[in-house]
Amino acid sequence: METAEIVRRFLGFFEKKGHTVVPSASLIAEDPTLLLVPAGMVPFKPYFLGQRTPSYDTATSVQKCIRTKDIEEVGKTSRHATFFQMLGNFSFGDYFKERAIPLAWELVTSPVEEGGFGIDPERLWVTVYLDDDEAERIWREDVGVDPERIQRMGKEENYWDMGVPGPCGPCSEIFYDRGPEYGVEGGPAADENRYIEIWNLVFMQYERGEGSGKDYPILGELPKKNIDTGMGLERLAAVLQGVDNIYETDIIGRVLHRAAELTGSVYGDDHERDVMLRVVADHVRSAVMLVGDGVKPGNEKAGYVLRRILRRSIRNLRLLSGTDAFFLHDLTAVSIDAMKDIYPDLLDKADVVHGVIDTEERNFADTLRAGTTLFGRAAERTRAQGGTVFSGADAFQLHDTYGFPIDLTLEMAAEQGLSVDETAFRELMQRQRDTAKADAKAKKLGNADISLYAGLHENAGDTDFLGYSDTESESSVRGIVVDGEGVPSAKEGDKVEIVLDRTPFYAESGGQIADTGTLTVDGRGVVDVEDVQKPLPGLFMHRGTVRSGEIVLDDAVRARIDVDRRRAIERSHSATHLIHSALRNALGPSAGQAGSENRPGRLRFDFTADNALGAERINEVEEEVNTVLSDDIVVRTEEKSLDEALDMGALAMFGEKYGDRVRVVEMSDYSIELCGGTHVGSTSRLGIVKLLGESSIGSGVRRVEAAVGADAFKRLSKESALVGQLSEQLKTPREELPERIDAMVSRLRSAEKEIERLRAAQVLQAAGEIASGARRHGSALVVATEAPEGASGDDLRKLVLDVRGRLGEEEPVVVAMTAVPKDRPVVVVAANKAAQKAGIKAGELVGVAARALGGGGGGKPDIAQGGGSDPAKADEALRAVEARVASF
């Protein structure tokens, strides 16, 4: 049974049983405590916590998931995967164990011709929690499972919670017996390789308290008992298709076998190569789905996950093929084609997905070359100093600057007989993560723990946003946070976060920055609102300072936004939509939005593109946008169902998450987008849009910046004044300025080159005099001196080689010289062949000198370079070289 057919049967079965079919949420988690969605129940978490009320009592879905904690196990086992899909059915206070258990059994065991999966009941085993007599009874009496195939398991295996106080409850799982060739008999308790879990039923019926691990108190029963069940789609496909592991199923297997064909490999012949092919198949599919949900390669958060799996794929493909060929475009196409029956939207996103992945593969090829050079220098330096451990700092630099996975560094080090200081590397990684987390928390969530926000949301409910039509409102204070703690009141000078029942303030989202304004309590206090964030969906946190008086829970306040500022932001946001359309007209649909920021009078817009636009195209985009402004198009906003909006051609942004109802912003047929932001009433309100420039901000992503309205007029006025000033000073008409300036710059560069040539020649003229100062130390002639003033690092290297050449090859010669270009001391050491035969190596000597300078260095036996931080130690470094040579 094909994977797409499994999906159709699962959703169709539960839809017939009265469940609402819910589309998969984005892989990018709404929950701020998560980076990516790791489980099928995550999109429904607010319903289970009571933070939001669903519009249905029962639901079913196929949820896209990503887990990275076991990434090193991918390909090695039969079931670990980075991307996977969870088939789930959910009940929010509707049915419980008495219905959930029979439904699962019915679907799994019903004959294929009757719409089921047709699994032989004699091959199924069941586990229940130790003291869950109710579940055990239902399996035994209502379903008819042989009691000998029902096993009771402990809290680690069969009890579920979210890891924090909240809902929890026992689990019951269905296992499939793969047969005696896979392990010993005795059910899941005896061998989970032979007996693999295919379905997990979670019975949320209790509330847990504080605790660690599985050690926590049960506070009581939940008011409403919920059902969260999940079936791993890939595992079920492996069972129904009769293959050994998930990598050989129809969808993943297509990518695997194509990778084998492209690299000249034969799957099944060699375990190590088989693992590498599985890694490629898993990671390519995972990358396609991540990019499809708007993730771009980067060095942090979800972008790093994507970059890591793409680079692991590239590395494995190169090792398998023994070439530097590019394979990912072909494999991406195979993966999209394999997944399109389940996710048809991938076909619409194919150009963007290919663009992002192709660009990352090309960039990593360049990065691999540069990083390998850096690795070689660091490894040579390590050996020159007599070490056998590649430093954690160098490994971290390779990771942070060049994107090298640590396992790639480990492998390259092992090839050169070195180990890696992994402890130091991971300490640096953790320090970077901690800093990033602290920065993000300080910027967006203040000092409060996310559980506090969850509690506020549970008590206050969703904030009613009035800002599309109102700029002020009468509101009630539902929550106050000071210094990360919920408080009953706040006084003058306090930094506060305030929850209102209704608000005209726009919370930062969709690229539009938050409103500012005031909250006023009649006769008692004023709060200056400086920022508004949504730490949880539906919860608006107004952040600011109590300017005067105090504010108390349940106060009635007058909430007012800064209207002029809002209008300026709206102009920028509407201009962003127009620039997006103009870029798509110029570059094609692959120019997808990759981020934006809309501020008063200014905007930036990030988009996918491989190459720079160029001045001519930038001018064309700017001219097109301003032509649309002059047409005074009415900007219409309307709420529609998601399907209706997409049918009318509305553009959905990569990385954005949409509900069943969406807001469509329409500027005639020139621009139709899904957008929750605020906008002008007509395009003429923008005045004018001036593009300020375009640049690259990452792999395949570029950025344009623009001024809008009054800011654009000010910019143009300044530019005009500047051009006028240049025209007057150069005595040149405005229209001739570009040619005049080009000629001046060309003459200046020629003069600079000539000056540099003369300076370098002057430095090298000193070579003869420097060579005459050679002195014997031990068995070698040694020149150890400072270079002439003004010598650059390049000059220094040339001068050292020139002096060494003048001293000949008959006897050992060592030349060591220092210089201080750009206030940083540099030392270069060269040894001739006779010196090398005597055991004198430049790489070792430069390490001696560099340590005296407070730094490090390395290189080859004939010439090496190092540096430090203390220019005052230059003479000491040179004397150290002389002393070391004298010891030979």
CB-facing half-sphere around the CA of 337: CA atoms within 13 A: 10
Angle, nearest 10°, between helix axes 250-263 and 271-292?
120
Look-up of token digits 């009468």: 474
Question: Is 19 annotated as contributing to ligand binding?
Answer: no
Q: In angstroms, what CA-CA distances link 785 with 761, 773, 798, 804? A: 19, 9, 15, 13
Q: What is the mean pLDDT of the chain?
A: 88
pLDDT band (50, 70, 90) for residue 123: very high
Question: Is 457 annotated as contributing to ligand binding?
Answer: no
354-380 mean pLDDT: 82
Tens of pLDDT, residues 810-862: 899 999 999 988 778 899 999 999 999 999 999 899 989 988 888 877 778 99
Report the Cα 580 to chain-centroid distance in Å: 23
562 in Cβ contact with 471 (< 8 Å): no
Q: What is the pLDDT of residue 32?
A: 67
CB-facing half-sphere around the CA of 127: CA atoms within 13 A: 28
What is the spatial distance between Cα 279 and Cα 788, in angstroms, rounded to a whole number? 56
pLDDT band (50, 70, 90) for residue 133: very high
What is the spatial distance between Cα 396 and Cα 740, in angstroms, rounded to a whole number? 48
User: Which residue in 575, 551, 437 sits closest to 498, CA to CA?
Assistant: 551
Torsion of CA 129, 130, 134, 139, to 10 degrees: 60
Let me know if domain 3-243 sits in CATH 3.30.930.10: yes
What is the spatial distance between Cα 716 and Cα 693, in angstroms, rounded to a whole number? 14
Look-up of token digits 């300490």: 427
User: Which residue in 467, 493, 462, 494 sits closest to 480, CA to CA?
Assistant: 494
Q: In angstroms, what CA-CA distances link 503 with 314, 495, 579? A: 50, 19, 30
Q: In angstroms, what CA-CA distances link 357 with 273, 327, 360, 560, 656? A: 23, 11, 5, 46, 20
Alpha helices (H) in 820-873, listed in sequence order? 833-837, 842-852
What is the spatial distance between Cα 284 and Cα 811, in angstroms, rounded to a whole number? 59
CB-facing half-sphere around the CA of 112: CA atoms within 13 A: 8
779-789 mean pLDDT: 90
Q: In angstroms, what CA-CA distances link 57 with 90, 92, 599, 629? A: 8, 5, 41, 47
pLDDT band (50, 70, 90) for residue 484: confident
Q: In angstroms, what CA-CA distances link 350 with 247, 333, 357, 577? A: 23, 8, 11, 22
Fold of 566-718: Threonyl-tRNA Synthetase; Chain A, domain 2 (3.30.980)
692-702 mean pLDDT: 81
Paired residues of 377 in beta bridges: none
- Structure token digits, residue 83: 């991307």
Tens of pLDDT, residues 206-261: 888 888 778 888 888 887 899 998 899 999 999 999 998 899 999 999 999 999 99
674 in Cβ contact with 651 (< 8 Å): yes
Q: What is the pLDDT of residue 655?
A: 47
For residues 693 and 368, the model is more confident at 693
Q: What's the DSSP call for residue 246?
A: G
What is the spatial distance between Cα 412 and Cα 420, in angstroms, rounded to a whole number? 10
862 in Cβ contact with 839 (< 8 Å): no
Report the Cα 247 to chain-centroid distance in Å: 25
What is the spatial distance between Cα 164 and Cα 754, in angstroms, rounded to a whole number? 70
What is the spatial distance between Cα 53 and Cα 224, in angstroms, rounded to a whole number? 12
683 in Cβ contact with 574 (< 8 Å): yes
Q: How many other β-carbons are positioned within 10 Å of the β-carbon of residue 4?
A: 17
What is the spatial distance between Cα 228 and Cα 168, in angstroms, rounded to a whole number? 11
pLDDT band (50, 70, 90) for residue 543: very high
Handedness of CA 487, 489, 492, 495 (dihedral sign): positive
CB-facing half-sphere around the CA of 344: CA atoms within 13 A: 1
Q: What is the pLDDT of residue 437?
A: 52
User: Which residue in 65, 84, 59, 52 sits closest to 26, CA to CA?
Assistant: 65
What is the spatial distance between Cα 378 and Cα 400, in angstroms, rounded to a whole number? 15
9-26 mean pLDDT: 93
What is the spatial distance between Cα 273 and Cα 278, in angstroms, rounded to a whole number? 9
CATH of domain 450-561: 2.40.30.130
Look-up of token digits 């399996």: 139
Q: What is the pLDDT of residue 435?
A: 63
Q: What is the pLDDT of residue 656?
A: 55
What is the spatial distance between Cα 816 and Cα 877, in angstroms, rounded to a whole number? 9
User: Which residue in 700, 611, 2, 647 sits closest to 352, CA to CA?
Assistant: 700
Q: pTM for the whole thing? A: 0.61
Residues near 90 by beta carbon (within 8 Å), at least 6 away in sequence: 19, 41, 44, 58, 59, 60, 61, 226, 227, 228, 229
What is the spatial distance between Cα 332 and Cα 185, in angstroms, rounded to a whole number? 41
Q: Is the pLDDT of residue 759 over 80?
A: no
466 in Cβ contact with 502 (< 8 Å): yes
Look-up of token digits 């209790």: 206
For residues 412 and 879, the model is more confident at 879
Tens of pLDDT, residues 315-331: 889 888 888 889 999 99
Q: In angstroms, what CA-CA distances link 251 with 4, 266, 292, 688, 878? A: 9, 18, 17, 50, 65
Question: Is 573 annotated as contributing to ligand binding?
Answer: yes
User: Which residue in 553, 557, 508, 550 sits closest to 530, CA to CA?
Assistant: 508
- Structure token digits, residue 687: 């005045």
Q: In angstroms, what CA-CA distances link 878 with 383, 535, 786, 827, 872? A: 22, 59, 8, 9, 12
Rg (CA), the chain: 34
Determine which helix (DSSP H) or strand (DSSP E) holds 465, and give its type and residue range: strand 464-465
The amino acid present at 572, given as its one-letter code, is S
Determine which helix (DSSP H) or strand (DSSP E) holds 137, and give its type and residue range: helix 133-137
412-439 mean pLDDT: 77
Torsion of CA 321, 322, 326, 332, to 10 degrees: 30
Q: Give 618: exposed, middle or buried? Use CB within 10 Å, 0-12, 13-18, 19+.
A: middle
Q: In angstroms, what CA-CA distances link 876 with 104, 824, 842, 855? A: 79, 15, 17, 13
Torsion of CA 756, 759, 763, 764, to 10 degrees: 60
Task: Write b or e for each residue in 674-700: b if 16 or more Cβ atoms lie within 10 A of its Cβ, otherwise e.
Answer: bbbbbbbebbebbbbbbbbebeeebbb
- Structure token digits, residue 36: 């990516």
Paired residues of 635 in beta bridges: 667
What is the spatial distance between Cα 197 and Cα 174, in angstroms, rounded to a whole number? 6
Look-up of token digits 């009771």: 152
pLDDT band (50, 70, 90) for residue 678: very high
Q: Is the pLDDT of residue 406 over 90?
A: no
Question: Is 577 annotated as contributing to ligand binding?
Answer: yes
Q: Give 727: exposed, middle or buried? Use CB within 10 Å, 0-12, 13-18, 19+.
A: middle
Q: How many other β-carbons are positioned within 10 Å of the β-carbon of residue 756?
A: 12
Q: Is the pLDDT of residue 391 over 80?
A: yes
Q: Is the pLDDT of residue 132 over 90?
A: yes
CATH number of this structure's domain 765-886, picked from the four choices 2.60.320.10, 3.40.50.300, 3.10.310.40, 3.40.228.10: 3.10.310.40
- The structural domains of the chain, with segments of one domain joined by +, span 3-243, 250-437, 450-561, 566-718, 765-886
